[in-house]
Amino acid sequence: MTTLHVQVSDAPLDPTAALEHCSAPGHGAAALFIGRVRDLNQGRQVRAVSYDLHAVLCRNVFKEICAEARGQWGESLHLWLTHRHGRLAVGEASVIAAASSPHRDESFKACRYLVEEMKHRAPIWKQEHYIDGDSDWVKGHALCSHG
Amino acid sequence: MNTNTELNPVSVRLYGAFRQFGQESTLDVSLPLDARVADLRVGLAQHYAGNDSALALLQASAFATDQAVLDEHEALPQDQPISILPPVCGG
């Protein structure tokens, strides 16, 4: 059984599947994070968000991040990291991260690490659609290091 | 810019905010066979000349294969898809 699951998907994300994956007889802790589309950003009312992503590179980056988490908090971690692609309405889940481990500290830290690193490193972009009919691409974190 | 005169078409896949500058999902840029990533950036700057928004986004963007983000001074990989990655914001 694989203990690592990374995916990008056009279908709704399933937190139950994440928790089932992040489970083992020796794991006394599991942490779950769900990121959802909210209705307000920078003072503008949001109706929906369209996610664009580079699927192949995204999965590779997710695997790297998970490997780093295991390097820091233990190879026994079970990890789950999935992200939506396409247009999502307010309230829909855009990302699910989960981790399980023998004790809670590793699960909390690993789960947060997956989320924070994903936001800074994964090739994912979002375009917000506002209730006034306007749309705008959200500014993000630059991946380049050139002068 | 590299001075090798033999040119090679490089297809660049566009993502995120680059999609707002046209209908196409890829751009073709002619570059020397031994071009580096920095040469591709120059070629795209020529394509977007006069479009200040696109040029600012280009300056803040990285280039990547399907496996990894490329360093500015790296040789452009041959026979691999190249993508331009504007600043990211997942979640």
pLDDT digits (tens, 9 = 90+) for B16-37: 999 999 999 999 999 999 999 9
Mean pLDDT of chain B: 93
Selecting from A115, A123, A139 the residue whose C-beta is nearest the C-beta of B15 gives: A123
Residues 6+ apart with CB under 8 A from A62: A6, A81, A83, A118, A122
Is the distance from CB of A101 to CB of A73 less than 8 angstroms? yes
What gap in Å lies between CA B77 and CA B64, rounded to an integer?
Answer: 10
Q: Please give the Cα distance from A99 to A89 (Å, whole number).
A: 26
- B31 near B43, Cβ under 8 Å? yes
Q: What is the dihedral of CA A16, A74, A27, A120, to 10 degrees?
A: -20
Decide: B2 and B31 in contact? Cβ < 8 Å: yes
Chain A interface includes B61 (CB < 8 A):
yes
Chain A CB contacts of B16 below 8 Å: 52, 125, 127, 137, 140
Position B66 scores a pLDDT of 93
The complex scores an ipTM of 0.91
B-chain CB neighbours of A82 within 8 Å are none
Judged by CB atoms closer than 8 Å, whether chains meet at A124 and B90 is answered as yes
- Considering CB atoms only, which of A54, A56, A141 is closest to B15? A54
The letter for the amino acid at B60 is A
Residues in A touching B68 (Cβ below 8 Å): 57, 60
Q: Taking chain A (147 residues) in consecutive chunks of 10 residues, what is each chunk's mean pLDDT?
A: 94 98 98 98 97 97 98 98 98 98 98 98 98 96 82
What is the interface size between A and B, counted as CB pairs within 8 Å? 96
What is chain A's Cα-based Rg?
A: 16
Residue of B nearest to A143 (CA): B62
For residue A120, the distance in angstroms to the closest alpha carbon of chain B comes to: 7
